[in-house]
């Protein structure tokens, strides 16, 4: 409710209402779309504000309106299901076809562009399911180019740091995202309302703290008293109803978000309940005017009365099972304590949720079924546990995923199901790896192969082989990765198991890329294409993750398009954990290209939003530490020490190499010993034949003045082979071809002559790498060189992109669309000089074209 009016208008909401109308005008005028995020406490008047806007807005299309459900486990795409009941246009058609979040968002965008002026309200996002948040995320990222107004409301007091909506609110940024909050009413506003009812305004404001809903409930009382709580106010109002109306109120309270008339056993008191203002008519039935009132009435019910009401609703829903929504039906079945119905319908609700991309809700539905599964046979319980484990795995609930699968293995073992146990162990090996349990991973994989290497286990054996191939990949055992993967592909193709083929091709392709074999990308591309064709979402994400891992290891940045594509694809598919891995590798990519700010942004997003997975944190912390070390603008060691602590007990190079190389470089930059940081990882990299890691460690030792390198018998890859052989200029050229300017300067820093050192200094100064520039400067001075460039001036260092004054001036003219010739005439410079300035600007901004530079300058406010 919460609609506080004075003279026909909403009290203290005129500014909010005007802002909504301005946003709508922006859409009507064809200037792009707007997403309004409207937050406030429960009862703060969000719904009243948006309803008033709907009543006043002049839209060429009906305003679409849907709300999220306060069920134990939300319905997948709940608000869009509600919209589809009234709107038989695009959303209704997409919902009928079972569209996933990406398809739904794409369809809405296409519809809005073909028929501009769409206005859509999504209420109560604090209750939103995962798929709904995915749709909003997709729409929010594109809203600036879509002629639509989206209004999303949520209770800000219920969205804590770990809430799924909190992450989304942090991600949605940009000029088209408008954030708005409704504050409690002031003492003056409450006083004016109280006076019109002959009440004490000061006492009313003290008791209600200006909450509009609470104020409304108090003023609705006839006795003139001010209750102490919302509960007291609501129950006092309900107590004035007749027994027949009270029965209706009770029945509606247990059927969120609304009750269809067919679900109400008694309708005799319905008119009275509606006239009282506690209920209202909504499309399809009746509902409480405010959720706080519904909760209050529901919580006031005696346990046996509440269960009786849920049983009545359940009977009515089961009378027409073809119309029943599985999530809603199983909500009432659990509340009614009906084991049979929960076991029959919870798996259906889980499958529906998973098909909609709401994997977190799917996991919750399987957990609900398991709470009622004590009477099931072991095989049936194992099946539910395995399904729950998979959904938890997809939603970063790693420990829950492991525990569910371990319980399933015990059930399989209890009945002597050798093949089922072996299959579950194969999956467990993968889950244990994600949780950082390397020894358990290897043990589970070996036990799975032992159980499954038997006649009749062809398909299951294929799964075991591909999982063992993945284990070998993760510890970078080349021969085992390729051998197990080859067997798995052969069995997978024989038994028509596309998932096995996809997984194995990924394993082998990634291993080849890590080993410096370019043909590995062909296997990875084939794996991705097959995963997309078969709808294997997890493996789509895995392809992007492993491309990021391999390309950042060997600096194959001609593959860099995989990173941006991967972030978008994983977000579209609701694969949050996968997206964070790709972001972590993209952070490293930005670091290697000298894009410090972008590297920090990606790394900090991983640390802020991802679950505390050790590998993710080591990757992100290593990037942060290196950025600070290279720029010299902060202490790198807290981040690098935390990263090192996360590698204790690890035997995988993908954990150790990023941390050790970062710490070794930071030590060199600080003038500290390097060898101690390197020794153990050098030995491990030698055993694994990790040529790139060996090359990087060898060069860091050389820079630190340790020319002696242990013999490994391993041929190093370029550019390291070139620069360790003394050809630092040739190595620098190879680094530049990979767009790795810092590594090129690092190669030249180890050169024997003044020209190499000067070139290194120029490279470091251009990037703002002050500690490395200082080291090279000292080396030049030790040779007697005196005319050493000082690098960027203080004004340049203070610029967000480290542009010089002249570069900012040139960039301003680029934004105006002037050519190099025109800029040269304007600034009295040669055209060649302007060309050099423009090239420097593009490099510092990390863009390839002038138009991109202009857009980046506007986004970051680099020019006046």
Q: What is the pLDDT of residues 97-127, one digit of tens each?
A: 888 888 888 888 888 888 888 999 999 999 9
Specify the higher pLDDT residue, 735 or 92. 735
Residue pair 65/59 in contact by the 8 Å Cβ criterion: no
Beta strands 177-181 and 34-40, pairing class: parallel
- Quote the pLDDT of residue 222: 59
pLDDT at position 380 is 96
CA–CA separation, 294 vs 241, rounded Å? 15
| Element of type H or E holding 5 | strand 5-6
pLDDT by residue (tens digit) across 32-82? 899 999 998 888 888 889 999 998 888 778 889 999 888 878 888 989 988
pLDDT category of residue 833 using cuts at 50, 70 and 90: confident
Can you give the residue ranges of every domain in the chain? Answer: 5-183, 189-298, 800-860
Centroid of chain to Cα 511: 27
pLDDT at 228 over 60: no
Which residues pair with residue 486 across a beta bridge? none
For 724-755, the pLDDT digits (tens) are: 888 999 999 999 999 999 999 999 998 888 89
Q: How confident is the model at residue 347 (pLDDT cuts 50, 70, 90)?
A: very high
Within 8 A by CB and 6+ apart from 526, the residues are 505, 509
CA torsion sign for 818, 821, 823, 825 is negative
CATH 1.10.10.10 for domain 800-860: yes
| Band of residue 798 on the pLDDT scale cut at 50, 70, 90 | low
R_g of the chain computed on alpha carbons: 32
First to last CA, the chain: 47
Is 475 in contact with 449 (CB distance < 8 Å)? no
- pLDDT tier for residue 839 given thresholds of 50, 70 and 90: confident
pLDDT class for 2, splitting at 50, 70, 90? very low
What per-residue confidence (pLDDT) applies to 330? 95
Query: What pLDDT score was predicted for residue 864?
Result: 63
With a cut of 50, say whether residue 334 has pLDDT above it: yes
- Contact of 552 with 592, CB cutoff 8 Å: yes
When pLDDT is averaged across residues 335-362 and rounded to a whole number, the result is 93
Q: Give the DSSP letter string of 356-406.
A: TT-HHHHHHHHHHHHHT-TTS-HHHHHHHHHHHHHHHHHTT-HHHHHHHHH
Which CATH number does 5-183 carry?
A: 3.40.50.300
pTM of the model: 0.67
Same CATH topology for 5-183 and 800-860: the answer is no
Dihedral sign for Cα 447, 451, 452, 453, please: positive
- Cα–Cα distance measured from residue 486 to residue 503, given in angstroms and rounded to the nearest whole number: 11
Q: How many other C-beta atoms lie within 10 A of the C-beta of residue 98?
A: 11
Percent of the chain having pLDDT more than 70? Answer: 95
Question: In this predicted structure, what is the pLDDT of residue 258?
Answer: 86
Could you say which DSSP state residue 186 is in? P
Give dist(CA 779, CA 754) in Å, integer. 9
pLDDT at res. 1: 42
Residue range 559-591, pLDDT digits in tens? 999 999 999 898 888 787 899 999 999 999 999
How far apart are alpha carbons 707 and 724 in whole angstroms?
10
Average of per-residue pLDDT values in the chain: 87
Q: What are phi and psi of 279, to 5 degrees?
A: -110, 160
Rounded Cα distance between 251 and 306, Å, is: 9
pLDDT of residue 680: 83
Average pLDDT over residues 460-482: 92
pLDDT value of position 7 = 46
Residue 787: how many CB atoms within 10 A of its CB?
6
Q: What percent of the chain has pLDDT over 90?
A: 43
Alpha-carbon gap, residue 484 to 638, rounded angstroms: 40
Q: How confident is the model at residue 237 (pLDDT cuts 50, 70, 90)?
A: confident
Averaged pLDDT, 670-678: 79
Give the pLDDT of residue 838.
87
């Amino acid at each position: 409710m919460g609609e506080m009016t004075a003279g026909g208008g909403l009290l203290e909401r005129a500014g909010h209402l005007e802002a909504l109308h301005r946003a709508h005008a922006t859409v009507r005028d064809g200037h792009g779309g707007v997403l309004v995020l409207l937050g406030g406490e429960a009862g703060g008047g969000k719904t009243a504000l948006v309803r008033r806007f709907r009543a006043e807005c002049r839209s060429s299309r009906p305003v679409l309106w849907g709300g999220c459900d306060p069920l134990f486990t939300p319905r997948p795409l709940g608000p869009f299901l509600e919209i589809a009941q009234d709107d038989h246009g695009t959303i209704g058609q997409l919902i009928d076809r079972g569209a996933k979040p990406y398809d739904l968002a794409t369809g809405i965008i296409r519809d809005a562009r073909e028929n501009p002026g769409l206005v859509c309200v999504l209420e109560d996002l604090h209750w939103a399911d995962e798929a709904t948040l995915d749709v909003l995320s997709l729409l929010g990222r594109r809203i600036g180019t879509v002629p639509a107004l989206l209004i999303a409301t949520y209770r800000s007091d219920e969205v804590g740091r770990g809430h799924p909506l909190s992450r989304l609110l942090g991600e949605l940024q940009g000029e088209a995202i408008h954030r708005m909050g409704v504050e409690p009413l002031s003492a003056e506003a409450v006083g004016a309302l109280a006076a019109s009812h002959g009440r004490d305004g000061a006492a009313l404001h003290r008791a209600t703290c200006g909450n509009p809903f609470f104020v409304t409930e108090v003023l609705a009382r006839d006795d003139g008293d001010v209750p102490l709580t919302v509960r007291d106010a609501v129950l006092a109002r309900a107590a004035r109803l007749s027994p027949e109306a009270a029965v209706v109120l009770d029945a509606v309270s247990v059927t969120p978000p609304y009750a269809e008339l067919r679900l109400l056993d008694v309708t005799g008191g319905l008119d009275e309940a509606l006239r009282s203002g506690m209920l209202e008519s909504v499309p399809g039935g009746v509902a409480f005017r405010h959720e706080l009132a519904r909760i209050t009435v529901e919580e006031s019910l005696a346990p046996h009365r509440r269960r009786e009401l849920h049983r009545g609703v359940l009977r009515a829903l089961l009378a027409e099972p073809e119309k029943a929504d599985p999530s809603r039906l199983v909500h009432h079945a659990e509340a009614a304590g009906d084991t049979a119905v929960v076991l029959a319908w919870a798996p259906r609700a889980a499958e529906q949720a998973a098909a909609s991309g709401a994997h977190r809700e799917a996991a919750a539905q399987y957990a609900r079924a398991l709470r009622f599964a004590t009477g099931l046979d072991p095989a049936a319980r194992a099946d539910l546990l395995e399904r729950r484990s998979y959904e938890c795995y997809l939603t970063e609930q790693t420990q829950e995923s492991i525990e569910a699968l371990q319980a399933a293995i015990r059930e399989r073992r209890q009945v002597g199901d050798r093949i089922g146990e072996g299959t579950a162990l194969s999956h467990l090996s993968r889950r244990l790896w994600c949780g950082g349990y390397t020894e358990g991973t290897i043990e589970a994989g070996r036990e799975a192969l032992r159980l499954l290497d038997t006649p009749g286990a062809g398909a299951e054996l294929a799964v075991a082989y591909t999982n063992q191939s993945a284990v070998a990949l993760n510890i970078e055992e080349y021969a085992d990765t390729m051998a197990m993967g080859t067997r798995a592909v052969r069995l997978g193709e024989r038994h028509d198991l596309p998932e096995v083929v996809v997984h194995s091709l990924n394993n082998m392709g990634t291993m080849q890329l890590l080993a410096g074999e370019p043909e590995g990308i062909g296997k990875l591309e084939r794996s991705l294409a097959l995963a997309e064709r078969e709808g294997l979402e997890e493996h789509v994400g895995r392809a992007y993750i492993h491309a990021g891992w391999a390309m950042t290891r060997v600096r194959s940045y001609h593959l860099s398009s995989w990173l941006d594509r991967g972030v978008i694809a994983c977000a579209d598919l609701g694969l949050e954990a996968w997206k964070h891995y790709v972001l972590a590798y993209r952070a490293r990519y930005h670091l290697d290209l000298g894009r410090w700010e972008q590297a920090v942004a990606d790394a900090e997003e991983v640390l802020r939003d991802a679950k505390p997975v050790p590998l993710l944190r080591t990757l992100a912390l290593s990037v942060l530490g290196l950025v600070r070390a290279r720029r010299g603008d902060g202490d790198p060691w807290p981040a690098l020490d935390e990263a090192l602590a996360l590698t204790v007990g690890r035997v995988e190079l993908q954990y150790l190499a990023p941390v050790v190389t970062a710490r070794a470089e930071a030590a060199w930059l600080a003038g500290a010993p390097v060898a101690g940081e390197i020794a153990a990882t050098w030995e491990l990299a030698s055993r694994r034949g990790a040529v790139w890691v060996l090359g990087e460690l060898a060069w860091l030792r050389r820079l630190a003045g340790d020319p002696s390198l242990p013999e490994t018998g391993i041929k190093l890859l370029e550019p390291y082979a070139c620069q360790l052989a003394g050809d630092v200029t040739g190595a620098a050229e190879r680094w530049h071809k990979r767009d790795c300017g810092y590594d090129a300067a690092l190669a030249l820093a180890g050169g024997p002559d003044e020209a190499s050192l000067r070139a290194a200094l120029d490279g470091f100064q251009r990037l703002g790498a002050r500690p490395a520039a200082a080291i090279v400067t000292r080396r030049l001075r030790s040779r007697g060189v005196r005319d050493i460039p000082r690098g960027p001036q203080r004004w340049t260092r203070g610029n967000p992109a480290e542009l010089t004054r002249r570069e900012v001036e040139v960039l301003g003219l680029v934004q105006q669309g002037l050519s190099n010739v025109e800029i040269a005439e304007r600034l009295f410079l040669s055209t060649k000089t302007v060309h050099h300035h423009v090239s420097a600007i593009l490099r510092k901004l990390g863009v390839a074209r002038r138009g991109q530079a202009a857009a980046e300058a506007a986004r970051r406010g680099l020019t006046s």
